[in-house]
Structure 1
Amino acid sequence: MNDIIAYFSTIPSSHRSLILVSGITIFWLIENAFPLFNFTYKKWHHASINIFLTLTTIIINFLLAFILLKSADWTVANHFGILQWLPQMPLGIYALVGLLLLDLIGAYLVHLVEHKTKLLWRFHLIHHTDTWVDTTTANRHHPGESIIRFTFTTLGVLIVGSPMWMVFLYQTLSVIATQFNHANISLPKKVDTILSYFIVSPDMHKVHHHHMLPYTDSNYGNIFSIWDRLFGTFMALPKEEIIYGIDTYPNPEEHNQLKNLLEIPFQKPRSTENN
């Protein structure tokens, strides 16, 4: 555990970028070999849109990273936050508690709020317009949503009182988890079901991408599945019945054109939308 802390305390930006690229590449190869759905689409065109949006997320997080660093250092220096107030415990348990809480605020809570708040939903909607969900969909976020999510992550750091090494570890696990649970892969049903009791499995998350309510408003988690089960937002749907996308943007010219995706938050809301 000490080696992990030492590594993530000083992890270079190049290593974090390598993890992101490696994850996409590995899951891309796996989903091509063992696809869940055999999509008929221009895969590279689809990927180029999602990768562009991924790059905007990376840039935004890079430009604002100093806020996370200052926040984490401040919590430790001022003995502020949940982790700072807890009694001494084994390092492994300390890390697990911190990761669970960061995942609750930085992934589950922000995701739930985005679905329940009309303004924030306008930005998150871009993620749900994808009708060909694969590993590149993982970071298909409007730049506005990237700022929203960064804000909640910073809030999580302050509330949890997490040191910077834990923040870097959380972000790394979060990237891998979202690439995994968005990947167009099909695990054996029993394996997926067992995984879903601990982490967000591919079948579990894909229910969230079903094009109609109430399934769209379920399974908000990213790394750990405990929060959906604990707060009653877990739902199951046979993967054969899942239809990706959002029912208000069914046309390719709306969900498969970068210009329109960037403009969606500023277009007139549609009355039959999720919110």
Structure 2
Amino acid sequence: MNEIINYFSTIPSLHRALILVGGIAIFWMIENAFPLFKFEYKKWNHAGINIFFTLTTIVVNFVLAFILLLSADFAVEKKFGLLQWLPEIPLWLFTLIGLLLLDLIGAYLAHLVQHKTKWMWRFHLIHHTDTWIDTTSANRHHPGESVIRFVFTVFAVIISGSPMWLVFLYQSMSVVFSQFNHANISLPEKLDKIISYFIVSPNMHKVHHHYMLPYTDSNYGNIFSIWDRLFGTFTSLPKENIIYGVDTHMKTAENNQLSNLIQIPFQKHRSPQN
């Protein structure tokens, strides 16, 4: 455990980039071999749009990284936050509780609020316009959404009282798990169901990308599935009934052209069908 702490306390930026790129490469190969859906699309063209948004996310996080560092240092130095107020506990339990808290506030809550707040939804909408969900879809976030998510991450760090090594560990896990549950991979249904009781499985998250309500407003989790089950936002849908996208933007010119995707948050709001 101490080796993990030491590594993530000083993890080089190159290693963090390799985790992101390596995850995409691994799940890309797996989904080519064992696809959940056989898409009729130009995979490299589709990936180009999503990789563009991945790069903008990296830039936003890099520019604002100092705020995250200051937040973690503040929590540790001032003994502020839930983890800092705990009695002495085993390091593995400290880590698990920290990951759960960061996932709850930085991922589940952030995701839920973006769906329920109209102006935030305008930015998050870009993620849902993807009609071919695969591992590259994981980082399809408008730069505006990247800023929103970063703000929630900062709140998560302060409220949880997480040290920086734990934040880096969480972010690395979050990237890989997001690539995993977005990947167009076919797992045995029983295995996928068992996994979904602990972490967000591919089939569980694919329901969230169904094009119509109420499924769009469900299964918000990123790493741990406990939050959706605990707060009543978990739902299921047979995979053969899933249609990707969002009902307000089903035209190719709107959901598969980079220039329009960037402009969507500033276009007139469209109410989804119920």
Pick the TM interval, shorter chain. Answer: over 0.9
Q: Quick check: 2:98–2:162 contact (8 Å CA) kept in 1?
A: yes
Equivalent residue for 1:15?
15
CA distance in 1, matches of 2:227, 2:103: 9
Find out whether 1:226 has 2:231 as its counterpart.
Answer: no
Give the counterpart letter for 2:89 in structure 1: M
Give the counterpart letter for 1:131 in structure 2.
T
Match of 1:211 in 2: 211
Q: Tell me the residue number matched to 1:195.
A: 195
The residue correspondences of 1:71-220 to structure 2 (distance < 5 A) are 71-220=71-220
Q: Does 1:4 align with 2:4?
A: yes
Q: Secondary structure at the match of 1:114?
A: helix
Determine the structure 2 residue equivalent to 1:35: 35
Q: Partners of 2:62 and 2:96 in 1: how far apart?
A: 25
Give the 3 Å change call, closer, same or farther, for CA 184–105 of structure 1 in structure 2: same
Aligned mates of 2:250, 2:227 — CA distance in 1: 30
User: How far off its partner does 1:42 sit?
Assistant: 1.2
Aligned partner of 2:234: which letter?
F
CA drift of 1:89 comes to 0.4
Query: AA paired with 2:158?
Result: L
Q: Give the distance between the partners of 1:205 and 1:267, measured in 2 at CA.
A: 27
Is contact 2:213–2:272 with CA below 8 Å preserved after alignment?
no
- Give, in whole Å, the separation in 1 of the partners of 2:192 and 2:90: 30
1:149-206 CA distances to partner (integer Å, 9 max, x unpaired)? Answer: 0000000000000000000000000000000000000100010000000000000000
Amino acid corresponding to residue 260 of structure 1 in structure 2: N
User: Does 1:253 pair with 2:250?
Assistant: no
Q: Deviations over 1:62-102 (max 9, x none)?
A: 11111000100010000000000011100000000000000
TM-score by length of 1: 0.99
Question: Which residue identity lines up with residue 76 of structure 1 in the other structure?
Answer: V
What runs of 5+ residues in structure 1 fail to find an aligned partner?
A: none
Tell me, yes or no, if structure 1 residue 61 matches structure 2 residue 54: no
Letter in 2 for 1:169: L
Post-superposition offset of 1:272: 3.4
The residue type equivalent to 1:247 in the other structure is D
Secondary structure at the aligned position of 2:247 is classed as coil
The alignment-based identity, stated in percent, is 74
- Checking the alignment, whether the CA contact within 8 Å between 2:108 and 2:222 is kept in structure 1 is yes
Instruction: For 1:224 and 1:235, locate their aligned partners in 2 and report how far apart those are by CA, in whole Å.
Output: 15
The structure 1 segments of at least 4 consecutive aligned residues displaced by more than 3 Å after TM superposition are: 271-274
Equivalent position of 1:271 in the other structure: 271
| Superposed CA RMSD | 0.8
Asked whether the 8 Å contact 2:249–2:255 carries over to 1, the reply is yes
Q: Distance in 1 between matches of 2:200 and 2:49?
A: 25
Q: TM-score, normalised by structure 2?
A: 0.99
Q: Per-residue deviation at 1:271? A: 3.2
How many angstroms apart in 2 are the aligned matches of 1:5 and 1:231?
A: 31
The residue type paired with residue 25 of structure 1 is: A
Q: By how many angstroms is 1:273 displaced?
A: 6.2
What CA deviation, in whole Å up to 9, does each residue of 1:34-76 have, x standing for no partner? 1000000111111000000000000110111110001000100
1:41–1:125 Cα change, 3 Å:
same
What secondary structure is seen at the aligned counterpart in 2 of 1:236? coil
Equivalent residue of 2:79, what SS?
coil
Count of aligned residue pairs for this structure pair = 274
What SS does the aligned partner of 1:234 have? coil
Deviations 1:10-42 (A, max 9, x none): 000000000000000000011011100000011
* CA-CA distance at 1:270 after TM superposition: 1.4
